[in-house]
């Protein structure tokens, strides 16, 4: 019995145990307030679905030995461009959604490859360099948003008539197409079936990839580059593949995120998008060297539920807007914690 | 006769129960050049570590016996104490700061200072350097060595040979130097530099400083030594004046041990020497491999189908580089033909595709993915290079059941002690890890298998098993094997022929039952004919 418990404990790991217990405590507290727990959990499901693919995007880069993909905004920008073009063409419903994806993915492949060429030149510094690549790309794209030749009057500034607005609504295009499809109510919870199916599908494909020959090769490259060379593998090829996959997932993740959110936010909005995803995958038990699809999923559930539940509950209990501060402390603290340890896996 | 500078009495030392030194007695007289010779692992470094008070010794339980310096029993707790007692050491690797001048290097941390205004207020740590005096001191030391280099030039641009002299000058400059230990000082020198170097140490010895000289070059020993001490397997074999030795005798005493040369040649009835009738599987021509610390400088070698070829030689002479070079892991040049096909160098994939496999000497670094399971480690290379263990279909998914079945068979065949195919390789013992490496190589079904240092760091029981496995692969499956090892006895027990590498070149090829003398001489860079031994 004791052995069994020990095994379970080791499999879960202390950080996840603490966070889960904290989460449960918050939900109990919420029960005692006038907040609707069902609504909180429904919101959590939506946020898990919205952010899940961003978190999955961390897995290929970690497994290829590049580390956490702090340059996720590179993929996000591709997703934004795809979405914007679909909007410019006034496409609606699933048509718009798939056109946005269809445009975003090739863009992400190209930009991901270019980004990987840079990362392959800075081996050992990828995470640091990636962070600044993300920042630079977001800043650089600000000029593009101003100069891009979009003509749809719903998208450009009303006065002056050129340059994209800061926040665009997707309400007339494909806002909520996934969230509302096949959605049903269960015990007072709104289940966004389409959104969760999308996350499930992407997770399954990624899991399948890591069981294929190139996926196995990528793992070997990440785990022991010298063994990989001795087995005739080209390190840079698989590192690039990992970065491209991660960037593509970032782009797909954005389109899914945008349809759920209902808005596209431009200019400096994508700047910090990598950080919640990084924090989530680390909370899930990944390290900078090892990550699995399951860890990403566990991580996004814990992290997003915590945020969704913690904010209103703390607002109820404490006057003033402490919850936003708490969120920043939790997510950045988690990143700090995980980056200082190299082991990960079972001990993380 | 004055008191000897150094006496070692009954020095014994063991690391974790393994005895590495056994009752060593030796005496170094004033102004004597005392040469210490022995194979790698004979205990030379441990002996010098004891003498120099290195912390490895005290941390592993100290040593037994007495160290007598100038008639006083001493035990040094740190190199600092040894230096204070007049012992100097010049290491194989240079410990010099490249950007500093010769003077600054010689005087490092022992700078001559003079008081100034600030130091009078704040203490002597802030005194300024007396560069004139420092330069004079450095000059004096360099002159003692007969060195003409200027004391003000930066060390960075000096030739390697001069760096050695700067190190020695630094030791001399310490003033109280009585015994200078030189650990393989000539290994990095060219021939003329080495000659000059030997002159210098003779000059030093004449000035009354005793010298303990560790080297593998036997002609140097014969040229300068007053006394020669031979160590073997932690025991002192013989310590006597030079006149009582010949090169051949030293070589024999260094190598000779209770070798049971197995009956391998007789059993298999294979011609041990170059038989023209046999097929050449691998032809190596002028192979140069740039492997740091194990450079290969042009080797010609033929390997015949079905044989076990041993590669021996001392550490640092390049024996390990042969396999690493051919497998494309280190930059190399020259021609290699395998099975009548030109093997492209610097291309690991090409070598694997042609049917070569490699069990690396760096088991944990190159040989295994430590965080992965036994099953995956065994199949990874085959899966990636030969598309084995994949399910049919466009996605090339790995065949989990096939992998597990294969792993179970391999675990049985190679006698890997583990909890199952899913066990993480990091948790296995060294011997079992090595068996996993062999199983991986064998899964590739190679025509030619390189095995480097297969028994390094594994316990004796596993050692025998690993060697048995290697010879079984050869016998039952006809795999040609090139085995590299630092342990000569091991090579002699399983090889058909043994090639000895000396300073990056092939010194010669011997039969496993060749006399010890021949091995000792080749490993010291002498051909037996040269010395007149058969």
Interface of B with A (CB under 8 A): 327, 329, 348-349, 351-353, 358, 360, 362, 365-372, 376, 380-381, 383-385, 387, 390, 395-398, 400
Q: Are residues B165 and B189 in contact, defined by beta-carbon separation less than 8 angstroms?
A: no
Q: Are residues B154 and B183 in the same domain?
A: no
Q: What is the pLDDT of residues B338-367, one digit of tens each?
A: 888 898 989 999 999 988 999 998 888 888
Considering its fold, how many domains does chain B have in total? Answer: 4
Residues of A in contact with B365 (CB under 8 A): 224, 226
Rounded to the nearest angstrom, the gap between the alpha carbon of residue B145 and the centroid of all alpha carbons in its chain is 29
Return the CATH number at B190. Answer: 3.40.50.300
Supply the pLDDT for residue B262. 45
Query: Average model confidence (pLDDT) for chain B?
Result: 83
To 5 degrees, how large is the angle CA B172–CA B178–CA B180? Answer: 65
Q: What is the DSSP letter of B525?
A: T
Enter the DSSP assignment of A267: T
Judged by phi (left if over 0) then psi (alpha if -120 to 50, else beta), residue B107 lies in alpha
**A190 assigned to some structural domain:** yes
B325, B372, B393, B399, best to mutate vs chain A, most A CBs in 10 Å? B372
Which chain A residue lies closest to B395 (C-alpha atoms)?
A212
Q: How far is the alpha carbon of B384 from chain A, nearest alpha carbon, in Å? A: 7
Quote the minimal CA–CA distance from A46 to chain B in Å.
Answer: 32
The number of distinct structural domains making up chain A is 1
Sheet strands (E) in B16-138:
18-28, 33-37, 64-69, 72-74, 87-90, 113-114, 128-129
Q: What is the pLDDT of residue A140?
A: 93
- Pinpoint the alpha helices (H) of B330-391: 348-353, 374-386
Closest CB from A227, A229, A232 relative to B369: A227
Q: Tell whether B80 and B204 lie within a shared domain.
A: yes
Three-state DSSP at B298 gives: strand
Give the whole-angstrom CA distance, residue B177 versus residue B181. Answer: 11
Which residues numbered 282-341 in A keep a CB inside 8 Å of some CB on B?
A: 290
Q: What percent of chain B has pLDDT over 90?
A: 12
How far is A77 from A73, CA to CA, in rounded Å? 6
Res. A178: pLDDT tops 70: yes
Given an 8 Å threshold on Cβ–Cβ distance, is B329 in contact with A213? Answer: no
Confirm whether B464 is domain-assigned.
Answer: no
Give the pLDDT confidence score for residue A341 in this predicted structure.
Answer: 59
Please answer yes or no on whether A223 and B369 come within 8 Å at the CB atom. Answer: yes
Contact B406, B458 (CB under 8 A): no
Least CB-CB distance to B395: which of A212, A220, A345? A212
Which stretches does DSSP call E strand in B150-256?
A: 179-183, 210-214, 227-232, 235-241
Q: Kindly identify which residue of chain A lies nearest to residue B387, measuring between CA atoms.
A: A213
- The answer as to whether A346 is a domain residue is no
Over the stretch B181-234, which tens digit does the pLDDT of each residue have?
888 777 777 777 788 888 888 888 888 889 998 887 788 888 888 999 988 878
Q: Per-residue pLDDT for B251 more than 50? A: yes
Nearest CA in chain A to B360: A230
pLDDT level of residue B531 (50, 70, 90 thresholds)? low
How confident is residue A297, by pLDDT bands cut at 50, 70 and 90? Answer: very high
Residues B333 and B455 in one domain: yes
In a domain, A26, yes or no: no
Q: Are residues B343 and B407 in the same domain?
A: no
Contact list in B for residue A214 (CB cut-off 8 A) is 396
Overall average pLDDT of the A147-163 stretch = 81
Helix (H) or strand (E) holding B341: strand B341-342
Interacting residues of B140 by C-beta distance below 8 A, sequence separation 6+: B173
C-alpha distance from A68 to closest chain B C-alpha (Å): 19
Distance CA(A153)–CA(B247), nearest Å, equals 96
Please check whether residue B56 is in contact with residue B81, taking contact to mean a CB–CB distance below 8 angstroms: no
Residue that wins the pLDDT comparison between B486 and A327: B486
Question: Do B401 and B270 share a structural domain?
Answer: no
CA distance A343 to A282: 12
The answer to the question of residue B256 being in a domain is no
Size of interface A-B (CB pairs under 8 A): 74
Question: What is the spatial distance between Cα B412 and Cα B469, in angstroms, rounded to a whole number?
Answer: 12
- State pLDDT tens for residues A241-272: 999 999 999 999 999 999 999 899 988 888 88
Burial (CB count <10 Å: 0-12, 13-18, 19+), residue A159 = exposed
The residue of chain B with its CA nearest to that of A229 is: B348
Q: Which residues are CB-neighbours of B303 under 8 A, at least 6 positions away?
A: B280, B281, B282, B283, B284, B309, B448, B480, B482
Q: Residues 222..281 of A with a Cβ closer than 8 Å to B: which? A: 223-224, 226-227, 229-234
Residue B20 covered by a domain: yes
What CA–CA distance (Å, rounded) separates A161 from B222? 94
Cα gap B232→B239, rounded to integer Å: 12
- Taking the C-alpha atoms of residue B301 and residue B271, their distance in angstroms, rounded to an integer, is 17
* Residue B271 scores a pLDDT above 50: no
* CB A79, CB A253: distance < 8 Å: yes
Domain that holds residue A214: 37-271
Same domain, B351 and B382: no
Percentage of residues of chain A with pLDDT beyond 90:
43
Which residues in chain A are contacts of B397 at CB distance < 8 A? 208, 211-213
In a domain, B255, yes or no: no
Q: Do B296 and B239 lie in a common domain?
A: no
Alpha helices in B43-85 (DSSP H): 44-52, 55-59, 79-84
Do B68 and B196 have their domain in common?
Answer: yes
Alpha-carbon gap, residue B254 to B520, rounded angstroms: 7
Q: Which pLDDT value is given to residue B156?
A: 81
**Which of B348, B366, B383 lies closest to A216 in CB terms?**
B383
Residue numbers in B near A220 (CB within 8 A): 369, 372, 380, 384
Q: What does the pLDDT read at residue B272?
A: 43
Identify whether residues B74 and B188 lie together within a single domain.
yes
Query: Containing domain of residue B416, as a range?
Result: 365-445
Q: Are residues B347 and B391 in the same domain?
A: no
B50 shares a domain with B18 = yes
Point out the domain boundary residue: B245, B270, B286: B245
What does the pLDDT look like over A66-113, one tens digit per residue? 989 999 999 999 999 999 999 988 888 888 899 999 999 999 999 999
Given this model, what pLDDT does residue B71 score?
A: 84
pLDDT at B123: 78
DSSP classification of residue A6? H
Supply the DSSP symbol for A17: H
**In the predicted structure, residue B258 carries a pLDDT above the cut 50:** no
Residues B183 and B44 in one domain: yes
As separate numbers, helices (DSSP H) first and strands (DSSP E) second, chain B gives 20, 22
**Which residues in chain B are closer than 8 Å to A219, comparing Cβ atoms?**
372
Chain B residue numbers with beta carbons less than 8 Å from the beta carbon of A225 are: none
CA distance B460 to A61: 42
Dihedral, CA of residue A212, residue A217, residue A223 and residue A224, to nearest 10? 160
Nearest CA of chain B to the CA of A344: how many Å? 11
Evaluate whether residue B372 is within a structural domain.
yes
- Among chain B residues, the shortest Cα distance to A226 is held by B366
Q: Is the pLDDT of residue B153 over 90?
A: no
A40 at interface of B, judged by CB pairs closer than 8 A: no
């Amino acid at each position: 019995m004791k052995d069994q418990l020990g095994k379970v404990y080791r499999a879960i790991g202390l950080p996840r145990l603490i966070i889960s217990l904290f989460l449960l405590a918050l939900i109990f507290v919420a029960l005692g307030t006038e907040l609707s727990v069902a609504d909180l959990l429904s919101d959590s499901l939506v946020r898990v679905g919205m952010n899940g693919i961003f978190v999955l995007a961390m897995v290929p880069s970690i497994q290829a030995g590049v580390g956490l993909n702090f340059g996720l905004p590179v993929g996000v920008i591709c997703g934004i461009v795809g979405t914007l073009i679909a909007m410019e063409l006034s496409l609606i419903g699933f048509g718009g959604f798939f056109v946005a994806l269809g445009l975003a993915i090739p863009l992400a492949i190209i930009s991901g490859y270019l980004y990987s060429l840079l990362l392959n030149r800075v081996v050992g510094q990828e995470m640091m360099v990636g962070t600044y690549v993300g920042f630079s790309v977001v800043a650089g794209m600000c000029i593009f948003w101003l100069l891009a030749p979009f003509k749809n009057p719903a998208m450009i500034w009303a006065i002056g008539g050129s340059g994209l607005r800061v926040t665009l609504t997707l309400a007339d295009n494909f806002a909520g197409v996934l969230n509302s499809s096949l959605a049903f109510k269960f015990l007072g919870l709104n289940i966004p079936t389409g959104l969760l199916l999308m996350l499930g599908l992407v997770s399954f494909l990624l899991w399948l990839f890591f069981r294929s020959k190139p996926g196995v090769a990528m793992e070997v490259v990440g785990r022991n580059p010298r063994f990989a060379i001795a087995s005739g593998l080209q390190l840079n090829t698989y590192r690039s593949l990992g970065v491209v996959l991660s960037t593509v997932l970032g782009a797909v993740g954005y389109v899914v995120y945008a349809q759920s959110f209902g808005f596209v936010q431009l200019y400096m909005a994508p700047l910090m998008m990598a950080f919640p995803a990084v924090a989530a995958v680390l909370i899930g038990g990944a390290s900078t060297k090892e990550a699995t699809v399951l860890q990403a999923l566990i991580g996004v559930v814990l992290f997003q539920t915590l945020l969704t539940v913690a904010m209103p509950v703390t607002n109820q209990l404490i006057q003033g807007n402490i919850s936003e501060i708490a969120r920043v402390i939790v997510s950045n603290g988690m990143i700090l914690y995980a980056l200082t340890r190299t082991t990960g896996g079972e001990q993380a | 006769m004055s008191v000897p500078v150094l006496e070692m009495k009954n020095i014994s030392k063991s690391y974790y129960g393994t005895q590495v030194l056994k009752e060593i007695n030796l005496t170094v007289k004033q102004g004597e050049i005392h040469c210490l010779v022995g194979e790698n692992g004979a205990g030379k470094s441990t002996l010098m570590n004891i003498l120099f008070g290195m912390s490895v010794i005290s941390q592993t339980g100290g040593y037994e016996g007495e160290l007598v310096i100038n008639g006083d029993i001493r035990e040094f707790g740190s190199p600092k104490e040894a230096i204070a007692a007049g012992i100097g050491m010049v290491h194989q690797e240079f410990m010099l700061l490249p950007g500093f001048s010769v003077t600054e290097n010689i005087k490092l941390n022992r700078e001559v200072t003079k008081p100034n205004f600030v130091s009078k207020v704040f203490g002597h740590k802030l005194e300024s350097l007396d560069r004139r005096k420092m330069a004079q001191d450095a000059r004096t030391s360099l002159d003692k060595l007969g060195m003409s280099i200027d004391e003000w030039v930066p060390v960075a641009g000096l030739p390697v040979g001069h760096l050695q002299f700067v190190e020695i000058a630094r030791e001399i400059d310490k003033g109280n130097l009585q015994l200078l230990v030189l650990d393989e000082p000539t290994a990095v020198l060219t021939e003329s530099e080495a000659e000059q170097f030997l002159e210098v140490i003779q000059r030093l010895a004449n000035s009354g400083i005793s010298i303990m000289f560790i080297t593998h070059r036997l002609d140097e020993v014969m040229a300068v030594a007053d006394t020669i001490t031979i160590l073997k397997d932690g025991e002192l074999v013989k310590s006597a004046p030079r006149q009582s030795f010949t090169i051949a005798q030293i070589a024999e005493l260094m190598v000779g041990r209770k070798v049971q040369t197995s009956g391998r040649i007789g059993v298999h009835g294979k011609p041990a020497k170059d038989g023209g009738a046999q097929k050449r599987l691998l032809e190596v021509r002028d192979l140069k491999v740039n492997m740091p610390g194990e450079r290969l400088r042009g080797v010609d070698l033929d390997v015949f189908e079905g044989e076990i070829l041993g590669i021996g030689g001392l550490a640092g002479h390049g024996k390990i580089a042969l396999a690493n070079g051919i497998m494309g892991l280190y930059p190399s040049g020259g021609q290699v033909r395998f099975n009548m096909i030109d093997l492209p160098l610097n291309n690991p994939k090409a070598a694997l595709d042609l049917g070569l496999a490699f069990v690396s000497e760096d088991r944990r670094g190159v040989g295994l993915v430590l965080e992965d399971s036994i099953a995956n480690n065994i199949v990874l290379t085959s899966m990636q290079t030969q598309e084995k263990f994949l399910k049919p279909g466009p996605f090339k998914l790995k065949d989990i059941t096939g992998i597990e079945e294969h792993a179970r068979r391999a675990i049985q065949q190679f006698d890997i002690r583990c909890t199952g195919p899913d066990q993480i390789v990091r948790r296995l013992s060294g011997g079992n890890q090595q068996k996993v490496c062999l199983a991986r190589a064998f899964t590739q079904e190679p025509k030619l298998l390189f095995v480097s240092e297969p028994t390094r760091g594994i316990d004796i029981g596993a050692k025998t098993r690993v060697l048995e496995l290697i010879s079984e692969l050869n016998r039952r499956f006809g795999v040609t094997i090139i085995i590299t090892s630092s342990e000569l006895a091991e090579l002699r027990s399983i090889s058909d022929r043994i090639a000895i590498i000396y300073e990056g070149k092939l010194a010669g090829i011997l039969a496993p039952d060749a006399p010890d003398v021949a091995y000792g001489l080749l490993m010291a860079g002498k051909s037996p004919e040269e010395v007149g031994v058969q």
